[in-house]
Structure 1
Amino acid sequence: MELILIRHLKTPGNEKRQYIGSTDEELSEQEVLNFKQKYKIDSYPQVQQVIVSPMKRCIQTAELIYPKNQITQEVLLKECDFGIFEGKTYEELKDREEYQAWLDSGGTIAFPEGEEQKEFRSRCVRGMLRQVNRLCKENVESAAFVVHGGTIMAVLEQLAEDQKDFYHWQVENGGGYRTLVNEDEWKSGIHRFRKIQKLGGAIE
């Protein structure tokens, strides 16, 4: 089975380089306009099923990329809640002690008043496992996940066959990866994403 992991297109907050996690922003109007001008039917691999984070930016992106597909929402694939950093930029945060502590940790400690990083990553993997288990049962041959950058990073850190750091898997808005799952292997309990390639790029 082929899986396509896509990060949503830009929101106004993304354009301003804000931390946008639990804020349920819609896509930037300019981003939608730009996308419609550039998009072709073969811009992204065609798939049988589309799964999304239930946040507006992911649903809208999925509707733009896959207008003919029915969309399934998976709540566990939502982006992290950035707590008091939510909606702020690096420039606004750089002199704050709690932000410097978070940077010094390599982004591993909990966001103040937000979601604990370990729980966020675990949640994303649980959501992915739940959906891939379902896809295997339904004998689906291809599916796309339109989610968040952090979600993709969390999932690939745990499930990629070549284990690499969380931040290795960063991807731009509208970018993503394609990967293969061996259904028999998966059903036997070996949960691995094989032959991961950047969309339009080389094997990672």
Structure 2
Amino acid sequence: MESKICLIRHGITEGNKNRLYYGHADIPLAAEGIDELKRLAESGLYPDGVNAEFYTTGLRRTEQTLELIYGRQKHESLEKLKELNFGSFEMKSHAELKDLEEYRIWKSDKLGNLPPPNGESLQAFYKRVIRGFDDLKERNALKAFSMRHKDDEALSIAVCHGGTISAILESIYPKVKDNFYKWIPDPGHGYILFMEDGKVADTEKF
């Protein structure tokens, strides 16, 4: 059975503009992000949401992004798809943190095993996100099965975060070298995953 999953990164926030570490901090979209999402929606960038199933991570910036693109839609929250929890480093910049010993130690960890104070490690983040993606794939497969006798194709639309999307794409294409930052889409953009029998057969960036 064929279906699609659409992963959309939320719009621009003050955290993006000021290059802050923020993941679980529940901040809203910046005015610039709202305007940009309206423009992108009007351009026809996004897939038609008729009969789609919608998901966010429950954070305000994902809730706002979903509503700006598709209007008020019934949806569920998939909290496992939240961005990395930066703990005590949340809402702080490199300039604010660079003289802290615990920050320097964390930044020097190339394997991603060390968490920031009161946060989670990159490896723990990867594992959490993949569990969340497995849940999303299962929901999409069930939707596809329920629609197997219809002409419409099952579509799941998840508004989440840049790091989350990158972790998912990295898991799909593990042989691509140095690909974590490669896969992060611009705010308001993302990927369509073409599914066959519950597995990703192809991807398309938008």
Return the offset for 1:153: 1.6
Q: Which residue of 180, 188, 205 corresponds with 1:198?
A: 205
What residue in structure 2 maps to residue 202 of structure 1?
Answer: none
Q: 2:127 aligned with 1:113, yes or no?
A: no
CA–CA distance in 2 between the matches of 1:196 and 1:4?
10
Residue type of the alignment partner of 1:168: K
Gaps of 5+ in 1: 187-191, 200-204
Q: 2:206 aligned with 1:169, yes or no?
A: no
Map 1:5-16 onto structure 2 (within 5 A).
5-16=7-18
Kindly tell me the number of residue pairs found equivalent between the two proteins: 192
Distance 1:135-1:38 versus aligned 2 partners, 3 A rule:
closer
CA–CA distance in 2 between the matches of 1:37 and 1:174?
10
Gaps of 5+ in 2: 145-152
CA–CA distance in 1 between the matches of 2:68 and 2:111?
32
Q: 2:79 aligned with 1:75, yes or no?
A: yes
Higher strand share: 2
Checking the alignment, whether the CA contact within 8 Å between 1:160 and 1:196 is kept in structure 2 is: no
3-state SS, counterpart of residue 24 of structure 2? coil
What whole-Å deviation, never above 9, does each CA across 1:157-187 have from its counterpart, x for those lacking one? 223475553333222211211221112xx2x
CA–CA distance in 2 between the matches of 1:175 and 1:37?
12
What whole-Å deviation, never above 9, does each CA across 1:33-90 have from its counterpart, x for those lacking one? 3432453162211231221111111011011111164322112111121012111112
User: Which portions of structure 1, spanning 4 or more consecutive aligned residues, are displaced by more than 6 angstroms?
Assistant: none
Checking the alignment, whether the CA contact within 8 Å between 1:9 and 1:57 is kept in structure 2 is: yes
What residue in structure 1 maps to residue 129 of structure 2?
Answer: 124
TM-score (norm 1): 0.84
Checking the alignment, whether the CA contact within 8 Å between 1:161 and 1:194 is kept in structure 2 is: no
3-state SS, counterpart of residue 27 of structure 1? coil
Distance 1:115-1:55 versus aligned 2 partners, 3 A rule:
same
What residue in structure 1 maps to residue 157 of structure 2?
Answer: 144
CA–CA distance in 2 between the matches of 1:30 and 1:178?
25
CA–CA distance in 2 between the matches of 1:75 and 1:39?
25
Return the offset for 1:102: 2.4
Give the superposed CA RMSD.
Answer: 2.1
TM-score (norm 2): 0.83
